[in-house]
Amino acid sequence: MTRPARILLVAAESSGDRLGADLIRALKAACGDRELEFFGTGGRAMAAEGFASTFDIADLSVLGLFEAVSAYPHVVKRADDVADLAEQVRPDVAVLIDSWGFTLRVAQRLRKRLPDLPIVKYVGPQVWATRPGRAKTLAATVDRLLTIHSFDAPMFEAHGLKTTFVGNPALEREWNGDGDGFRERHGIAPGATVLSVLFGSRQAELRGVYEPFVQAVEILRRDNPDLAVITPLAGPIDAAARARLSADPRMDGVVVVSEDEKSDAFAATDLALACSGTVTTELATLGVPAVIGYRLGWMTWFLLRAFLLRAKYISLVNLAADEELFAERVQTQTTGPKLARECQSWLDDPARRAEVSRKLIATTEVMRGNGKAAHRAASVVCEYLPD
């Protein structure tokens, strides 16, 4: 009797967890009657597909150079844990999803301990934006790259890494949110203007943007008494954010919801104040205009700006459009008063919001390509499974 095919999946952040969930569904469909067993690490989305993570990934989201240094021993320990699991279960293929720092360390350990194990990297490092040397590092560590950006391949293939563009599943997800139902459930008037405040998905992002975002909300609510403010929380920061919000009188009356209400919340949103990340792409698919904030440690930011950062924008949608559709207010611009002023300019101009909404939707349609990204990724992974 043929044993089930064994697939090691490693996701360490919220965005990778969602990609992993999409991939699990696609693999089950692509392999037909073939029995599959999944091992490794993931979060809530993958758990909903029946995946049991070896450990909680919430503490692996590290942001910034010096934050990464302090977290390094823990990251190494967790990478060793994944390698130990791989030695125990002997998977047929390993798929390492996003999360460059952690998955690189996992890949290095897998290569040393199980040299014949095929290793697939799903989402490459953003070498078009910073640190082009990572392309060579990745090529020396894994066997295949599945990229979500059409322009990625040449940068990695130049170092001999076989690369397949599959597309971005985040642009294909169905966002059939019920905005009217959300407003009714949470006592928001049908005609009220709604601002969504999104603190990111990492603890470090929450720490970095919480104070300026809340200051901006305080100013906006003072100047716009009828403004409704909602805060959909990503799973990894839910508990910590709720604790801060419940103890902060400036956020009294703000509607705080969990990730499972995100679709409805976005459907009810007129403008977002968001931490840069995957959520901005999700907002773009729905045509929700946003002011994007981001804040790193000052030394990390100095080094990034002085030596590493090459991209014109930090938002993928802005890069794809070659236009600042999302207003980016980063680092020194991520202050309460500056964010409030920018948000106010959007709140005061419904025509501008409507025009940018159309452009956001059009841009993401181009970025989406032919769709079925997870299915293309699954078909590549299946190539490495035994007959």
Asked if the model's pLDDT at residue 31 lies above 80, the reply is no
Q: Write down the pLDDT at residue 66.
A: 40
Asked if the model's pLDDT at residue 63 lies above 50, the reply is no
What share of the chain in percent tops pLDDT 70? Answer: 91
Q: Write down the pLDDT at residue 61.
A: 61
Its pTM surpasses 0.75: no
Q: What is the C-alpha separation between 186 and 268, in angstroms, rounded?
A: 11
Q: pLDDT band at 64, cuts 50/70/90?
A: very low
**Average model confidence (pLDDT) across the chain:** 88
Specify the pairing of strand 162-165 against strand 144-147: parallel
Asked if the model's pLDDT at residue 100 lies above 50, the reply is yes
What Å distances lie between residue 51 and 55, 266, 321, CA to CA? 12, 27, 36
Residue type, 314: I
Query: Which carries the bigger pLDDT value, residue 263 or residue 295?
Result: 263
Instruction: Mark 293-320 as b/e (b = at least 16 C-beta within 10 Å).
Output: bbbbbeebbebbeeeeeeeebbbbbbbb
Query: Which carries the bigger pLDDT value, residue 274 or residue 127?
Result: 274
Q: Which of 130, 257, 112, 284 is nearest to 198 (CA)?
A: 257
- What is the rounded average pLDDT of the residues 43-70? 74
Q: pLDDT band at 70, cuts 50/70/90?
A: low
Q: Write down the pLDDT at residue 239.
A: 94
Q: Write down the pLDDT at residue 302.
A: 53
Q: pLDDT band at 308, cuts 50/70/90?
A: very low
pLDDT per residue as tens digits for the range 336-382: 999 999 999 999 999 999 999 999 999 988 887 677 899 999 999 99
Q: Percentage helix, strand, coil, to 5, in the chain?
A: 50, 15, 35
pLDDT per residue as tens digits for the range 196-245: 999 998 888 899 899 999 999 999 999 999 999 999 999 889 999 999 99
Q: Write down the pLDDT at residue 128.
A: 62
